[in-house]
Amino acid sequence: MEEKQQIILTNQDGATVAGAAPTFFVILKPPGNSKTDQGILVTNRDACALASSVSSPGKSKGKSCLPADCTVGGITVTLDNNSMWNEFYHRSTEMILTKQGRRMFPYCRYWITGLDSNMKYILVMDISPVDNHRYKWNGRWWEPSGKAEPHVLGRVFIHPESPSTGHYWMHQPVSFYKLKLTNNTLDQEGHIILHSMHRYLPRLHLVPAEKATEVIQLSGPGVHTFTFPQTEFFAVTAYQNIQITQLKIDYNPFAKGFRDDGLNSKPQRDGKQKNSSDQEGNSVPSSPGQRTRLTESEASEIQLSDSDPLSRGHETPGKDLEKPSLMIKRDIVGFMNIDSALEVPQLKQEVSERLEDSSPG
DNA sequence: TCCCCTTCCACTTTTGAATCGG
DNA sequence: ACCGATTCAAAAGTGGAAGGGG
């Protein structure tokens, strides 16, 4: 029997306007008897302001490299794989959504400094809508195409090592490669629910664990939120931009089978990739050796970091990942458009119903 | 017809148990 | 018997192709 920590997400004011994340609570409940619960409540207020600096969609984003550092309240978070994110960002990053959940690539990996070494923190990641638009790919760039679907609130990814001390978080990179995205609004695996053809921005929240036995505002004192515009992406169910596809194939080890480096290529696919890559003038080099923005060493470093001992020790997959005391991710159930928090089992069905009810289309 | 989504496929890496040797 | 290294099969993660539905 797995030991799980229940998480209930509630929406305080019930708003579901895309692009403006309303206040909500994250309630972490230890398994078992609710009388002994010491819930952790997190609220999020005015979080949309954080995304205000995100660039507009369109044909050009400039080719400058966006900064890897973000400092708030003396705490500095550095986007570890910044060069790769920028590489994708300049071509409008796309992330695949699947029913069973798909990992992000690139994923978010941070270095953190400035924490209190002895204090415990909870690291929370969520993904917020950038604006109120639905988008379409016109063959060359993304353009608005109607109004956005209401954002599914309350789905967050709590780092499995949470809570841990500031010293722990600072002595190695913090990775979120286990985070999965889905377009299944009935998802019960705790994956982050997004809408296809919409635009999103990941956010990292640092929550002091000592204060987390009470209600905490994610944007309130003591809680710091970090965003990196270069991590913005369009959610899709199938890749739209062939350049993004090529970058994924070039850099993602799991996609090695699609590389046209001679050994693993499939003739059928080779032809298509090469032919379509000159859709735009600035085509992506079809082979990794021709890349210019990311050096070979950079790329390999980023790829290796997936299995990097530092990251591995921190993000130990499999059994080690699932701390008995904090089986968090799979218990993130959803958000409730009500003031009271229900127990998880009965919540699951209600969540889906409420979501559908609150979706005017 | 077009656009978007789902499913299946071939391929890869990752993981963990089994085995081997010192 | 113990421990570390190696091997191997299963599991999980990829993008592409094909087909379906609105």
Which amino acid type is present at position A139?
A: G
A269 touches strand C (CB under 7 A): yes
Nearest protein residue to nucleotide C12 (CA to C1' distance) is A254
Collapsed DSSP state (helix, strand, coil) of residue A335: strand
HSE (side-chain half, CA atoms, 13 Å) at A233: 29
Q: What is the dihedral of CA A260, A266, A267, A270, to 10 degrees?
A: -40
Please state, in angstroms and rounded to a whole number, the distance separating the CA atoms of residues A199 and A93: 10
More confident residue, A85 or A300: A85
Tens of pLDDT, residues A42-79: 333 333 333 334 455 554 566 678 989 999 989 999 99
Higher-confidence residue of A270 and A232: namely A232
Closest CA to A224 of A207, A202, A211, A209: A207
> What's the whole-number mean pLDDT along residues A88-111?
95
Q: How many CA atoms lie within 13 A of A188 on its CB side?
A: 9
Quote the mean pLDDT of chain A. 66
Q: pLDDT tens, A135-186?
A: 999 999 999 999 999 999 888 999 988 889 999 999 999 999 999 999 999 9
Q: Which tens digits make up the pLDDT trace of A82-93?
A: 999 999 999 999
The string over A31-48, giving b where at least 16 C-beta atoms fall within 10 Å of a residue's C-beta and e elsewhere, is beeeeeeebbbbbbbebb
Kindly list the protein residues whose beta carbon lies within 7 Å of any strand B atom.
Answer: A 97-99, 136-137, 145, 183-184, 195-197, 236-238, 240, 253-254, 256-257, 263-264, 266, 306-307, 312, 317-320
Residue with minimal CA–C1' distance to B10 is: A257
Chain A window 249-268, residues with Cβ within 7 A of nucleic strand C: 249, 252, 254-255, 257-258, 268
CA end-to-end distance (rounded Å), chain A: 40
Confidence tier at A258 by pLDDT (50, 70, 90): confident
Residue A220's nearest CA partner among A357, A23, A6 is: A23
pLDDT recorded at residue A106: 95
